[in-house]
Every structure is written in C-alpha cells, then in structure tokens.
A = this chain, B = another copy of it.
C-alpha cells in the first residue's frame, strides 16, 4: 500500500509518500515541502498547493491520502488557512477516487512515539529511526508529513477491523430487532 501523508499549511505544506512492507515495515519514497508566499492572494496560494498535491497524486498514484485533522490552533487565522490547504488536497484526492483519512496530531504522535503529547523533536527522531533515514528530515513539516503517512499505514488496518466489527454489530442488532418485531406481530395476531 502506498500512502501519501499531508501536513497541511499555507506557508509550508508537507507532502510525503510511504510504502508498506511486511508487518510494520514502512519505506519512505519521497518527501517535499510546498511553500507559498505570505503576500500572495489566498486563492492563488490554494491553487499552488492543489497543483502540487495533484502532481504528486498523478505521479505517485497513492492508494490512500492521510491528512492532519486541524481542531484548533492558537491563531484562528492560521487554523483557517491550514484547514483550507487540507481541504483542497482532500478535494484533489476525492476527484481521483483516492480514499482520504484524517488523523489528529495526537493520534500521529501516539502512533510514532507512543506518546500523544510528544514534542516535534521526538517525532522527528522516531520518524528518522522508523524509516531508517541517514539524516533527520527537515523542516518539521516534512517530518510531520512522514509521521502522518506512517500513522495511517499502522492505523488503517485497525480502523478497518473496527469498522467491520461495528458493521457486524449493527447487522446483528437489526436482525435482533426484526426478530422481536416478528414475535410481537405474531403475538398480536393470536
């Protein structure tokens, strides 16, 4: 499975590509950071990011796109820009029929370091170790994009099993309710 990881942002948007191997083995295929100038119009900045993400998707053909879910940030304006950058990447994936998953920063940190509150340095160190890289990926956005893709590779099978279990439980509940309704109906008929 090839997973594209995206650390969204207007000023710096991290893009990464990871391939899964046997078990928990993951290999980094590519990583890059798209930058857009702060004095450029918002719509043009989004266009630059969308163009870069689409080029990656068309070149690397990922099986899934994992994007960081933004909940809140200290700066509301930055948070909006981050959400919009993530939105245009999600749109590009949807247009190509590539499934999109969102992971929160704490899910990503927890997946790669075992601690949901780990700092940037710890994340970078673990990403470097997990992928067996010679040098630490910089800037932090590149490391984050790699961490996101790793998190998706490891969480995706678990999420799939959970979704299957939930669907099975729902199915069982429906069957049970149908049975109860049937019994009640028969009781009324007698």
Contacts and interface: CB of A to CB of B under 8 A. Distances in A.
A72 interface: yes
A157 to B, nearest CB: 19
Interface stretch (A14-22, A94-102, A107-115, A167-175): A94-102
A87 interface: yes
A133 to B, nearest CB: 30
Given A71-B76, A76-B71, A91-B91, A42 B83 contact: no
Interface residues of A, number: 27
A47 B86 contact: no
Interface of A: 41-44, 46-47, 50, 70-72, 76-77, 79-80, 83-88, 90-91, 93-95, 100, 102
B91 A43 contact: yes
16 contacts: A42-B90, A42-B100, A43-B91, A43-B93, A43-B94, A44-B94, A46-B94, A71-B76, A71-B80, A80-B80, A83-B83, A83-B87, A84-B86, A85-B87, A87-B87, A88-B88
A91 B88 contact: yes
Number of copies of this kind of chain in the complex: 2
A46 B90 contact: yes
A42 B68 CA distance: 13
Contacts of A46: 87, 90-91, 94
Contacts of A47: 91, 94-95
Given A79-B80, A83-B87, 8 more contacts: A42-B90, A43-B90, A43-B91, A43-B93, A71-B80, A76-B79, A83-B84, A91-B91
Nearest to A10: B87
Contacts of A100: 41-43
Nearest to A95: B47
